């Protein structure tokens, strides 16, 4: 059987990375697509794990070669989902999760109409601010830019098949798992 393709979006700092990565560790039949980006690695990030960190020139060449399922620009950097990896993994029967923003998720759905869109929402704005500041990897100005995007991201909720409120981590993981298994109601 072919695997399922899911696009998981949500504001930065909402915990989508933790939810997705924990589920993937528990399930060998679910994998995360590793995107390409032109941004520099943050501390602790590794090439080929969080992202493939490539130059703007290489990114442009791969756009020309139609190598991305979708791509977009954020904060002056490019991010894209490699098409061949997604196709091959789905064919092998495993499910693929794309951790991408709203615009990218909608583009992925256009390219793959069977793509399931999942939004992870914060329990509150205050909680999200606290998480972003605790991450300590960005300046106040960068955090402000991310928070300004929040309203836009959450306003797109209606276009999504599922919304998971990340109040409790284990509950959120279980919800995502039931979506992959086709047991959740939208
Ligand atoms: P960050 O720099 O915090 O890792 O990611 C910045 C934004 O890029 C996030 O909203 C993230 O979801 C988005 N992003 C990461 N990978 C991709 C991708 O492959 N395609 C698109 N369109 N957005 C991505």
Residue nearest to atom 14 of ligand 1 (CA): 100
Of 44, 80, 86, 104, the one to substitute when testing ligand 1's pocket (max ligand atoms within 8 A of C-beta) is 104
Centre of ligand 1 from the C-alpha of residue 107, in Å: 13
Please say whether the beta carbons of 34 and 48 come within 8 A.
yes
Please say whether the beta carbons of 74 and 101 come within 8 A.
yes
For 70-107, what is each residue's pLDDT tens digit?
998 988 999 999 998 899 999 999 999 999 888 889 99
Q: Does domain 5-180 have CATH number 1.10.3210.10?
A: no
What sign does the CA torsion over 24, 185, 109, 1 have? positive
pLDDT at 152: 81
* Percent with pLDDT over 70 in the chain: 99
Looking at per-residue confidence, does 34 or 135 come out higher? 34
In this prediction, residue 1 has a pLDDT band, given cuts at 50, 70 and 90, of: low
For 24-49, what is each residue's pLDDT tens digit?
999 999 999 989 999 999 999 999 98
pTM: 0.81
Ligand 1 binding site (Cβ under 6 Å of any ligand atom)? 12, 35, 39, 70-72, 74, 79-81, 99-101, 104
Rounded CA-CA distance 178/160 in Å is 16
């Amino acid at each position: 059987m072919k695997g399922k393709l899911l696009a998981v979006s949500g504001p930065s700092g909402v915990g989508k990375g933790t939810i997705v990565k924990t589920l993937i560790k528990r399930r060998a039949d679910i994998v995360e697509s590793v995107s390409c980006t032109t941004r520099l690695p943050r501390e602790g990030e590794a090439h080929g794990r969080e992202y493939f960190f490539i130059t703007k020139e290489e990114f442009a060449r791969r756009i020309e070669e139609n190598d991305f399922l979708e791509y977009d620009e954020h904060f002056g950097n490019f991010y894209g989902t490699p098409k061949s990896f997604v196709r091959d993994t789905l064919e092998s029967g495993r499910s693929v999760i794309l951790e991408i923003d709203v615009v990218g998720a909608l583009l992925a759905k256009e390219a793959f109409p069977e793509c399931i869109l999942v939004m992870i929402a914060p329990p509150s704005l205050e909680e999200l601010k606290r998480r972003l500041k605790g991450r300590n990897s960005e300046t106040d100005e960068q955090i402000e830019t991310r928070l300004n995007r929040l309203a836009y991201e959450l306003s797109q909720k209606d276009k999504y098949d599922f919304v998971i409120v990340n109040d409790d981590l284990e509950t959120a993981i279980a919800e995502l798992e039931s979506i992959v298994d086709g047991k959740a109601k939208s």
